[in-house]
Amino acid sequence: MCLGVPGKVLEVFERDDLPMGRIEFGGIVKEACLAYTPEVAVGDYVLVHVGFALSRIDEEEAQEIFTYLDEIHAAGLAEELAGDEPDRQGGDEGLAAGGEK
Protein backbone atom coordinates (compact mmCIF):
# COMPACT_ATOMS: atom_id res chain seq x y z
CA MET A 1 0.00 0.00 0.00
CA CYS A 2 3.04 2.26 0.21
CA LEU A 3 3.26 2.62 -3.51
CA GLY A 4 2.80 6.13 -4.74
CA VAL A 5 2.11 6.55 -8.42
CA PRO A 6 2.85 9.61 -10.56
CA GLY A 7 -0.08 10.83 -12.62
CA LYS A 8 -1.10 13.81 -14.70
CA VAL A 9 -3.81 16.20 -13.50
CA LEU A 10 -6.56 16.39 -16.16
CA GLU A 11 -9.17 18.37 -14.26
CA VAL A 12 -9.57 20.10 -10.92
CA PHE A 13 -12.92 20.33 -9.14
CA GLU A 14 -14.50 20.38 -5.70
CA ARG A 15 -16.57 17.81 -3.82
CA ASP A 16 -17.88 18.07 -0.23
CA ASP A 17 -15.67 21.15 0.20
CA LEU A 18 -12.53 19.22 -0.73
CA PRO A 19 -10.40 20.04 -3.79
CA MET A 20 -10.33 16.99 -6.06
CA GLY A 21 -8.65 16.09 -9.33
CA ARG A 22 -9.11 13.67 -12.20
CA ILE A 23 -5.67 12.11 -12.61
CA GLU A 24 -4.38 10.02 -15.48
CA PHE A 25 -1.99 7.14 -14.85
CA GLY A 26 -0.74 5.78 -18.15
CA GLY A 27 -4.20 5.76 -19.72
CA ILE A 28 -6.20 4.96 -16.58
CA VAL A 29 -8.10 7.88 -15.05
CA LYS A 30 -8.85 8.02 -11.33
CA GLU A 31 -9.95 10.64 -8.87
CA ALA A 32 -7.68 11.88 -6.13
CA CYS A 33 -8.03 14.40 -3.34
CA LEU A 34 -5.88 17.52 -3.84
CA ALA A 35 -6.31 18.96 -0.33
CA TYR A 36 -2.59 18.54 0.39
CA THR A 37 -1.38 19.95 -2.93
CA PRO A 38 -3.52 23.08 -3.36
CA GLU A 39 -0.91 24.57 -5.71
CA VAL A 40 -1.38 22.05 -8.53
CA ALA A 41 -2.95 22.97 -11.84
CA VAL A 42 -4.17 21.02 -14.86
CA GLY A 43 -1.17 19.54 -16.68
CA ASP A 44 0.94 19.11 -13.54
CA TYR A 45 2.15 15.70 -12.41
CA VAL A 46 1.39 14.63 -8.86
CA LEU A 47 2.40 11.70 -6.73
CA VAL A 48 -0.78 9.90 -5.65
CA HIS A 49 -1.01 7.56 -2.69
CA VAL A 50 -4.26 5.86 -1.57
CA GLY A 51 -6.38 8.50 -3.26
CA PHE A 52 -4.43 11.58 -2.15
CA ALA A 53 -1.89 13.67 -4.03
CA LEU A 54 1.08 14.04 -1.68
CA SER A 55 3.36 16.21 -3.83
CA ARG A 56 3.69 17.98 -7.12
CA ILE A 57 6.48 16.38 -9.11
CA ASP A 58 9.27 18.83 -9.83
CA GLU A 59 10.29 18.45 -13.46
CA GLU A 60 13.66 20.14 -13.01
CA GLU A 61 14.62 17.87 -10.11
CA ALA A 62 13.35 14.88 -12.08
CA GLN A 63 15.92 15.61 -14.81
CA GLU A 64 18.90 15.85 -12.42
CA ILE A 65 19.63 12.15 -12.47
CA PHE A 66 19.80 12.04 -16.27
CA THR A 67 22.23 14.96 -16.38
CA TYR A 68 24.33 13.19 -13.79
CA LEU A 69 24.19 9.92 -15.74
CA ASP A 70 25.33 11.68 -18.91
CA GLU A 71 28.27 13.07 -16.97
CA ILE A 72 29.27 9.64 -15.72
CA HIS A 73 28.85 8.29 -19.21
CA ALA A 74 31.04 11.01 -20.70
CA ALA A 75 33.67 10.40 -18.02
CA GLY A 76 33.60 6.66 -18.82
CA LEU A 77 33.96 7.28 -22.56
CA ALA A 78 36.83 9.72 -22.07
CA GLU A 79 38.58 7.05 -20.08
CA GLU A 80 38.08 4.39 -22.73
CA LEU A 81 39.40 6.75 -25.38
CA ALA A 82 42.46 7.43 -23.25
CA GLY A 83 43.00 3.68 -23.47
CA ASP A 84 43.91 3.33 -19.82
CA GLU A 85 42.80 0.82 -17.26
CA PRO A 86 39.20 1.47 -16.30
CA ASP A 87 39.69 2.02 -12.58
CA ARG A 88 42.69 4.25 -12.51
CA GLN A 89 42.77 7.27 -10.22
CA GLY A 90 41.86 9.93 -12.78
CA GLY A 91 38.59 8.21 -13.66
CA ASP A 92 37.52 8.02 -10.06
CA GLU A 93 38.16 11.69 -9.54
CA GLY A 94 36.17 12.49 -12.63
CA LEU A 95 33.24 10.52 -11.20
CA ALA A 96 33.49 12.13 -7.80
CA ALA A 97 33.42 15.56 -9.37
CA GLY A 98 30.43 14.56 -11.48
CA GLY A 99 28.54 13.48 -8.39
CA GLU A 100 28.61 16.84 -6.71
CA LYS A 101 25.70 19.01 -7.52
Under rule CB under 8 A, residue 19 binds another protein: no
Q: What is the DSSP letter of 17?
A: T
Report the nearest approach of another protein to the CB of residue 12 (Å). Answer: 16
List binders of another protein among 63-92 (CB under 8 A).
64-66, 68-69, 72-73, 76, 87, 91-92
Q: In whole angstroms, give the CA distance from residue 71 to residue 63.
A: 13
Query: Which residues lie near another protein (CB under 8 A)?
Result: 1-6, 8, 16-18, 25-26, 30, 33, 35-38, 45, 47, 49-52, 54-55, 57-59, 61-62, 64-66, 68-69, 72-73, 76, 87, 91-92, 95-96, 99
